[in-house]
Amino acid sequence: MQLDKKINLGLIFGGRSGEHEVSLLSAKSVLEVVDRQKYDITLIGISRDGKWYSGDDVHSKLASRDISGLTPVVLIPEPGNAVLYRIETIHNQSTLVDPRILDVVFPVLHGTYGEDGTLQGLLEMADIAYVGAGVLGSSVGMDKGLFKYVMSANQIPVLDFLIITRKELEQNAENTITKIEEKLAYPIFTKPANLGSSVGISKCHSRGDLLEGLMDAASYDRRILVEQGINGRDIEVSVLGNENPRASIAGEIRPVEEFYSYFAKYVDDKTALIIPAEISLEDQITLQNLAIKVYKAIDCAGLARVDFLLDKDTGKFYVNEINTIPGFTNISMYPKLWGYAGISYASVINSLIDLAIERKAERDRTIRSYGRNP
């Protein structure tokens, strides 16, 4: 890729996910600071029903839920530069026109069909450089149950948990709840296995709460993570890099609510972000090292935010989850932690795009064919 000219950057946002609105907030923040002298930006918005559109006003149109006048586009999953096409329909006949060159894609898509490896697989097939983790890192990081199994296999501490399927819950809710109560004590958290931004998460203090929480989580995913609750503090660490990642100092989230809910993250302005977290220097170093270990364990790349729980009663740290496309507004914890280290929001964006190009160059070294002389 020639880098002596402006880089053709495709910014993808929106998506068919419960985190659609969060994605729009993150994309808006990126657009406000990205260097237009360095990048020629193509906006690609994905509607709530999964349709792809482009145009200068695509962000505002998706935010207002009005897609009229937007240009339908499609990304062709074949190697080559001209991969984004406008769909032109005349007399019910659709034609692909106006190929658009993309050098790098920046997915600012949270949740399903954006952070779970599905989009990453499409971009791999199209042979485009893209920001963030690959198919493996994205999918493992997204599925909270599988992630915890991988952590356990690497001797990384996690809280006790079970995985319940929606079908299992529907077939016999009573037995399901009994099985959970035999392993875990209240309070118990129920979470959709494949979603973020605290969507569908409930803190359950009784059997009635548990049933309600399970049903709510099951509406968002067929797999439900059921996890032991503790008297905990929410500690987060940002990670940046590919093969040799670096970790930021740890910060702490102090919500007014019982836990860091969707409302506390994006609606209520009373949640406090404490940077650095009020923990010892020894604990800071422990968490930085642990965050990098988590990052490498799932083969993450580009960026991630690793979330920990500190048990107030025992002083133990537990890995809660990893977010491979964390909230990316200018007031989100990920960029704010790097800001504390003197790295601006715009500089983080530049670094992520550089890391995407670096990762693509490393992929290109892989031999894709094998032949033997007869």
Chain segment 295-332, per-residue pLDDT in tens = 999 999 999 999 999 999 999 999 999 999 998 988 89
Confidence of residue 2 (pLDDT cuts 50, 70, 90): very low
Q: Is the bond preceding residue 335 a cis peptide, omega within 30 degrees? A: no
How large is the average pLDDT for residues 339-353? 96
Confidence of residue 195 (pLDDT cuts 50, 70, 90): confident
Q: Tell whether the model's pLDDT for residue 362 goes beyond 50.
A: yes
Strand 39-46 vs strand 129-130: parallel, antiparallel, or unpaired? Answer: unpaired
CA dihedral 363, 365, 366, 371 (to 10 degrees): 150
Alpha-carbon distance 335 to 303, whole Å? 11
Residues 213, 327, 335: CA angle, nearest 5 degrees: 145
pLDDT number for residue 330: 80
Token digits of residue 248: 């930021």
* Average pLDDT over the chain, rounded to an integer: 92
Alpha-carbon distance 348 to 335, whole Å? 7
Confidence of residue 199 (pLDDT cuts 50, 70, 90): confident
What 3-state DSSP class applies to 166? helix
How large is the average pLDDT for residues 330-356? 95
Q: In this structure, what DSSP letter does residue 194 have?
A: T
How large is the average pLDDT for residues 189-193? 94
Pick among 3.30.470.20, 3.40.50.300, 2.60.40.10, 2.60.110.10: CATH of 141-157+231-362 = 3.30.470.20
Q: Tell whether the model's pLDDT for residue 38 goes beyond 80.
A: yes
Confidence of residue 252 (pLDDT cuts 50, 70, 90): very high
Q: Where are the domains of the chain?
A: 7-130, 141-157+231-362, 161-228
How large is the average pLDDT for residues 284-297? 98
44-76 pLDDT tens trace? 999 999 999 998 899 999 999 988 889 999 999
CATH architecture of the region 7-130: 3-Layer(aba) Sandwich (3.40)
CATH code: domain 161-228 is 3.30.1490.20
First to last CA, the chain: 36
